[in-house]
Structures are given as structure tokens and as C-alpha cells.
Structure 1
Amino acid sequence: MAETAPEQGVIAIKQLSYQDWQPGLQRVHVNAPSIYALAPLDAHWSLEGSFVRDGVSGASPRHHSAISSASHMDDQRHAGDLKLTHYDDRQAWAIGGAWSNEHDYKSRTLSAEWRLSSEDNNRTWNIGLARSNDSIGSSDDDTLHEHRGTWQLLAGVTQAVSALDLVQLNLGANWGRGYFSDPYKFPDIRPRSRNQYTALLRWNHHIEPLQATLRTSWRFYDDSFGVRAHTLEAAWVQPLGERWSVTPTLRYTTQSAARFYKDPVYDPVLGEPFPPGFDGQHPTSADQRLSAFGALTGGLRVDWRVDAQWKLDLNYERYEQRSGWRAGGNGSPGLATFSARWWQFGLSRSF
């Protein structure tokens, strides 16, 4: 179909509840209500935006899986975005902005994107560019006033291969300069630049006899820290009558460790948490998010179209991370297992 402005407006609210834990320890809990609105302005323009308020509490490891009293937190984040889109017969362009505020972190982003469809509307090209500027502080260190700037580029193509198959390829790159260390983890000294590259391939196949759609994707990630990751995902969208649908999802992720990530082996003189040869200058991190691991996520989403205007959805996902689940083995040793779950409830109305 040709590129056209939306004919109806939408207002949607979401409620997210997230919890993660390790054996014997309830870690981080997030409660995040949000609202989204889309409004067509005329036949060629639309305006959309969202706002979210995160309440974060709990404790996060300062190094590897160890908790200290300094790592306990109770914080709030307010974030929002706004985008204005113009539609022509075969193309659309948009400009947008986003912001995020915490007591120790502020982020501002400006973005632009453009889409162009072929004459038969079976192929769409897209490109986007964004610039983010972040300010970083610390509740534990009043003298910390750092900054980070990032350019983000995304380009891709979506192709209708047949009446039943849709394929998409997106390539992304981020170039960041500034402060990348985590002020709440110790020891944590990271390079002052980080380049990140992604490739995302999606294939949606409609199965006519079942009126179902299989959604599959593969995502490759690589960065200048040395982290390399693959993510495979499959989702089955099954309508149940005219108003209901269920979508089970399964996702697998495997990643390598950053070059400067240190396993939980400590200097014989300095002791825990310092790695052997620690000098306070060279890149060093004990953040398990930079370790080598594998992870599985299973989920189920239920959608209910109440009537022509109202929709409800409920989504549940469970995440399990293990060092031994890394593809090919050789995951980072000595780390406690990590688990998480999240619920999300949504309600939307068209007008």
C-alpha cells in the first residue's frame, strides 16, 4: 500500500513491572507506567509522542555478583519523545526529539528519518540519523560531572517477497565519545570511545491454512569493546476468532566478553575486588553484563480487540542467563545465575 498518513488517532497506556534476581537475592525492581499518543493532523501530517515514568529500586552488584551497601538504590526516571511525520505518495520523512532525566543522568536526542517506496510499493528503503548528548553524575561522588556524545545511523530495506512473505534487513552503527564507565561499579574503567555495529534480518511468513504468522529474526552485534553477540528469535502469531490472538515467543542470545572484562580472580596483594595487575589506569571492568554468557527468553502475549475502538493486551516474559549457555562454551566462570521476569499490560483506544 502507498505511504499515507494515519486516518485514526490512537491513545495507549502501558504498565510494566520488571524484577530480576540471583540465588538468595532480589535485585532490581522497576515499575514503569507510560502513555503514547498518535494524532493525524491532515492528509499529509501526523504527530506522535510518548511519556514514561520509571520507578527503580533494589540492589545491583558492584563487582561480579557481590552486593555492597553502596549499591542499593531508589530512583526515578522521567523520559519522553515527540515525532512529526510528513507523508507523500511514495515517501515519508520525520524529525523527532527525545529526553530522559534521572538525578544522576540526563540524555537529549535529536533525530531525522526518511522512507521511500518503490512504484509497486513492494519495497521500502529507510534511513535514519540521530545525535545524543548525555550528562553523567553519581550519588556516591559529587565531583563526577561527565559527558558523552553519540551519533547513530540506521539504514535498511523491507521487501514483500510474495503475498505471504515479508523480509527486512537493517544495518546500524553508533559512534560514541566520552564517559562510558559505570560510576556505581568498582573497579570499572572503560575506554572513552565505543563504536557499535548491528545487523538485523527479519522474515515474516503467513501460513494461510492456520491464518497464523511466523515471525523470525536474527540480530548480530559487534563493538569496539570486544563484545560480539548473536540473537535468534521466533514468534508465532495465532488469531483465535475475530477478536483474540496469542503470540508465544522464544529468544536465544549468546555473547563474548569485552576485552577488559576480568573474571572473579583477585590480586594476591590488593585482594577483592581488584584483578591481578590492577593499576587504576588501564581499562578494567567486573560488570557481568560485559561477560561471556548465553540467555534464553520465553514469553506469551495475548491481544483482545474489544470493539472497533478498544484493544487490550497482556504480555509476560521470563529471562534466564547462564555462563554455560554461551554457544560453543567458554562462558565467563564464577558468576551466579541471573534471572528476570516482566509483565506488561496495555490498553489502547482509536478515535
Structure 2
Amino acid sequence: MTTRVVMKYRKINSSVVRLGCAALALPGLMQTVSAGRVEETYNADFQYGHYSEGKKRMEVDIFEGALAAPIGKNMTANVGILRDMVSGASPVYNRRVNGKIQQVLSGASPSSQCGESICEQRDQITGGATYFFEDSSLNIGGGLSREHDYTSRFFNTAYSIDLNKKLTTLNFGASIAFDDIEPSPSGFNSHVNGFKRYKTGQNYLVGVSQVVDKDTLFQSNMTFGYSNGYLTDPYKNVATEGNPNFYVQEIRPGHKFTWAWLNQYVRHFGQLNDAALHVDYRYSLDDWGSHAHTFELAWHQPIADNWQIIPRFRYYSQDRVDFYQPIFDDTLKFDFNAPGYKGNFNTTLENHNVYSSDYRLAGFGALSGGIKLSKEITSINGVNSLKFQTGFEYYRHEAGLQLGGNSQGSFADFNYYVVTASFNLKF
């Protein structure tokens, strides 16, 4: 295999590894790179995204920038900044009205400018450095994410090594996050009386990528995660059938183990103007009783004059956790000394029953589809390349789409769309 073909697959491999890491769902979890490949140019990236839920619920604007630069012949450094601006309303608890379950919406912010609506801003900064050996690379990084009631400090490292004439790459990664939670009273959560709790999350990745032949790449990653501490959402409540106007804060277990296995197949079609098919499958489970499946298909199609179009389709399904119910029956014994009731926050969570009506822990399925369009310009004086990209994705969350069916009704069904625009400058 020629050096040019190997380099083409090394670039594909870098994207696949990043996809695997993104599945771990912690800010700044880990940053992976291709082993033995130094980035020889300065890279500047900026991306804007807008997220909008149906029924006038959540709206999010995302601004993100990043800069990567070579340091000598064997090292690159990177820094990134991100700002999320959130507004709208979010489900707090469920109640039954005229025989039907309904979600009760409220805000979580103490900001007087937003009233009972959520009005949040999150700022994040990340940084890291990668050292490249002849056939391997080592990355070390970290970051800080802050909003008015939540602070996260995280550190990550990743190591990649090339084997088998650079046709096989082994990837290893680890990260740890230390989170501080300081919820503020607001609306339905007026019982939140000012307290501070802590959470720690650890995640590990082991993966391999294999160039099968000149047109085929296969990647497989396993990730392991363990979280402990305050895992409850202080802004989510639960209610009972007998008294729908009486509710208390949910209580989740104080620890959680997760495991996920991601596989991706990439097939190059030179006869179709260098198009590529990406097929992904991810399976995950946790010790809260939930299992999840994700299937994704994407087609990367270059067209004339350095344009590329990427349609994508995804299906997701998860089971509910063991302690979820939309509304609990009257036999549930709430612990009135537990966190969230009358401001008593001096009790250990493990000593109490656990219960949640958070729709994110329910069983459901989701269908999403989207399209991206990009254009690369390479004929600018003093600039190696300038790449623009825009995308649109539509997502439908529905209980009835869960694998095996779901009879809990459509009260938590919703949809959203995401619009993105970005550019990458190499110089």
C-alpha cells in the first residue's frame, strides 16, 4: 500500500476515534490523535450551532472555537473555548389530569430576567498537547466548565500506537472529572435551599482500528465508566397517583457503572468520485438497569469543485432504568428526611429509596436524520485551505419507537432540530 493511501486512511481513523470518544458523554473526556502523525499547519476552527425543541421548550445557542499549533517537529498544542446559552422550559415532574399523564414544565434558573424560564450560560475552556513518536503518540489535556450552579474540572490522556506497517492502530484513553453542584431555588424547586454536593466520573477507552484493504477500514472501541457522588438532578421531582399536587425531589443511586461497545465500518468507493459509506453500531448498558442500541448510516459524497455532501440517518433505543416511573403509586414511601424535602441535605443518599420520573431515564426510541454540506478552498494566498460546513438535523423522541414497544404513552414525546455552521482555516 502506498504512503498516500495509508495517509488517507490515517485521516479517516482520526475521525472514527473521535466518534468513539464522543460516545462517552463527558466534557473534555479525551482527545485522540493519529499515532505518529504531526500536524504541520496551524488550525483555527469556529462553529455555531442552534438547538430548538418543539412546543416552545428548550432553545440553545452554541459558540465554539479552537486553535491547534505545531511546536517543533514532534509536538502539537491545542486550546478550545465554548459557550452555551440556554433558554426555555424543561419538564420537572408528571401528573395525571383527566386520566392522562402530563408533563409539568418549569425553569431552573434564579435569574429574574427569565422569570420561571431556564436562562443559563455555560463557559468551557480546554487545552492539551500531543507528542508524536515514530509509531505512536501521547496526548495529555484537561479543561474547566462552569455555569451558575455547576462546575466541572476534567483531565484526560490518550495513547495510540501503530502496528503491522501502520495498518493497525491500538488506542487507549482515560479521563477523570470532578464536579461541584450548587443548585438554586426556583419555581417548583423552591425547596432547594442552597447546598453543595460533589460528583466524580472516571472513563476508560480501549480500541483498535484496522485497515482491511485499500478501500476498507474497521474500528472497534470499548469504553468503561464509573461515576459516584451526587448523581441526582436537583431540579427533577416525582409525584404520586393519589395526590398529584404533592411532589418531592427525585433521588438516584450514588454510583453508576457504564459500559459501551462501538463498532464502525468504513468503505471507500473510488468509482463514485471517492465516496465513502460509514456504518456504526453502538451497544451500551449500565447498572441502573438500562440497555441502549444506536445504529447510524452516513454517506460521504464528494462532488465538483471540492464540495461534499453527507446525508446521515440514526436510530436509538433505550430501556428504562429500574427506579423510573412516570407517576408512582401510593405505596411509595417517600423519605421526608432525604435531600430535596424541607431543605434537609445532610443525609447520605444510599440510605434512602431511589425514585425518578425524569423522561431521560424512561424507555424510548428516537429517529434522526440530517445532512451536511461542505466546501474546501485551497487557492488562497498565504492559506493552505479554508473549509466551510453547514448542517441540519431533525430528531424525533417517541416512546413508541423503543425496540420491543412501549405502552407508557406519548406524554413525553417531543422533537428538536439542530442547525450548524462552521469553518476551518489551515495556515
SS of aligned partner of 2:210: strand
Partners of 2:410 and 2:327 in 1: CA distance = 6
Contact kept in structure 1, 2:78 and 2:129, CA below 8 Å: yes
1:208 to 270, 274, 280: 270
Describe the shift of the 1:69–1:84 C-alpha distance in structure 2 as closer, same or farther (beyond 3 A): closer
SS of aligned partner of 1:284: coil
Matched to 1:156, the amino acid is G
Matched, 1:297 2:342: no
Shift of the alpha carbon at 1:130? 1.0
State the Cα deviation string for residues 150-183 of structure 1 (Å, max 9, x = none): 1111110000011111100000011111001111
Partners of 2:403 and 2:301 in 1: CA distance = 30
SS of aligned partner of 2:213: coil
Matched, 1:336 2:412: yes
- The 5 A counterparts of 1:256-295 are 256-264=319-327, 266-267=329-330, 276-280=331-335, 281-295=352-366
Partners of 1:312 and 1:289 in 2: CA distance = 34
SS of aligned partner of 1:310: strand
Shift of the alpha carbon at 1:72? 2.4
When structure 1 is superposed on structure 2, of 133-142 and 98-107 the one drifting more is: 133-142
Q: Any gaps of 5 or more consecutive residues in structure 1?
A: 268-275
Contact kept in structure 1, 2:359 and 2:412, CA below 8 Å: no
How big is the alpha-carbon RMSD for the aligned residues of Structure 1 and Structure 2?
Answer: 1.5
2:86 to 56, 63, 75: 56
Shift of the alpha carbon at 1:69? 5.8
Matched to 2:287, the amino acid is S
Matched, 1:315 2:353: no
Matched to 2:389, the amino acid is D
State the Cα deviation string for residues 43-91 of structure 1 (Å, max 9, x = none): 1000012110111111100014221466621010001211100001100
Shift of the alpha carbon at 1:142? 4.1
- The 5 A counterparts of 1:10-159 are 10-21=43-54, 25-64=55-94, 65-68=103-106, 72-140=117-185, 141-159=192-210
Partners of 2:407 and 2:128 in 1: CA distance = 41
SS of aligned partner of 2:400: helix
Percentage of matched positions with identical amino acids: 29
The structure with the largest helix share of the pair is 2
Partners of 1:79 and 1:329 in 2: CA distance = 39
Contact kept in structure 2, 1:32 and 1:54, CA below 8 Å: yes
Partners of 1:293 and 1:252 in 2: CA distance = 11
Partners of 1:205 and 1:251 in 2: CA distance = 18
Equivalent residue pairs, number:
340
Matched, 1:350 2:401: no
Contact kept in structure 2, 1:28 and 1:57, CA below 8 Å: yes
Describe the shift of the 1:89–1:321 C-alpha distance in structure 2 as closer, same or farther (beyond 3 A): same
Partners of 2:210 and 2:194 in 1: CA distance = 52
Partners of 1:299 and 1:287 in 2: CA distance = 27
- The 5 A counterparts of 1:152-191 are 152-187=203-238, 188-191=250-253
SS of aligned partner of 2:279: strand
Describe the shift of the 1:320–1:347 C-alpha distance in structure 2 as closer, same or farther (beyond 3 A): same
Stretches of 4+ aligned residues off by more than 4 angstroms: none
Contact kept in structure 2, 1:33 and 1:54, CA below 8 Å: yes
Partners of 1:112 and 1:139 in 2: CA distance = 34
Contact kept in structure 2, 1:291 and 1:332, CA below 8 Å: no
1:254 to 317, 330, 349: 317
The structure with the largest strand share of the pair is 1
Partners of 1:263 and 1:334 in 2: CA distance = 11
Partners of 2:401 and 2:371 in 1: CA distance = 22
Shift of the alpha carbon at 1:336? 3.3
Question: Structure 1 length normalisation: TM-score?
Answer: 0.93
1:238 to 273, 284, 301: 301
Matched to 2:307, the amino acid is W
Partners of 1:216 and 1:164 in 2: CA distance = 14
2:285 to 219, 222, 237: 222
Matched to 2:400, the amino acid is G
Q: Any gaps of 5 or more consecutive residues in structure 2?
A: 1-6, 8-34, 95-102, 109-115, 186-191, 239-249, 336-351, 379-383
Partners of 1:246 and 1:278 in 2: CA distance = 55
